[in-house]
Structure 1
Amino acid sequence: MTLFQYRMIFWLAFIISCFGFFSEVEQGPVLFSHFDKVMHFGVFAVLTLLFQKGFGLNWKIGLALAVIYGAAVEIIQGAFAGRQASFGDWVADILGAIAALYVLYVLNRKQVEQ
Structure 2
Amino acid sequence: MKPSFNFIRFIPFLFWIILVYILLTLPGKDFGSVEVDIPNLDKLVHMGLFGGVVFWFGFAWINIDRTKTRRGTVIITIVACIYGIAMEYVQKYFTTRDFSYGDMVADSLGAIIAYFVIRAITKKYQLQRAKNSY
TM range (shorter): 0.7 to 0.9
Q: What is the deviation of 1:3?
A: 4.5
**Residues 55-66 of structure 1 mapped to structure 2, 5 A cutoff:** 55=61, 58-66=72-80
- SS of the residue corresponding to residue 103 of structure 1 reads helix
- Number of aligned positions between the proteins: 113
Maintained 8 Å contact 1:6/1:50: no
The unaligned stretches of length 5 or more in structure 1 are none
CA contact (8 A) 1:45 1:97 kept: yes
Q: Quick one: which of 23, 30, 41 aligns to 1:35?
A: 41
Tell me how far apart the structure 1 counterparts of residues 117 and 123 of structure 2 sit (CA, whole Å): 10
Q: Which moved more, 1:94-103 or 1:49-58?
A: 49-58
Contact residue 3 and residue 53 of structure 1 kept, 8 A: no
Q: Is the 2:43–2:102 Cα contact (8 Å) retained in structure 1?
A: yes
- State TM-score, norm by structure 1: 0.86
**Could you tell me which residue of structure 1 aligns to residue 15 of structure 2?**
12
Runs of 4+ in 1 over 3 A off after TM superposition: none
Which position in structure 2 is the counterpart of 1:96? 110
Q: Which runs of 5+ in 2 are unaligned?
A: 62-68, 129-134
- Using the alignment, how far apart are the partners of 1:100 and 1:11 within structure 2? 17
- Residue 24 of structure 2: aligned partner: 21
For 1:68, which of 50, 75, 82 is the aligned residue?
Answer: 82
**1:40 offset after TM fit, Å?**
0.4
Are the aligned partners of 1:41 and 1:95 in contact in 2 as well (CA < 8 Å)?
Answer: yes
> Among the aligned pairs, what percent are the same residue?
30
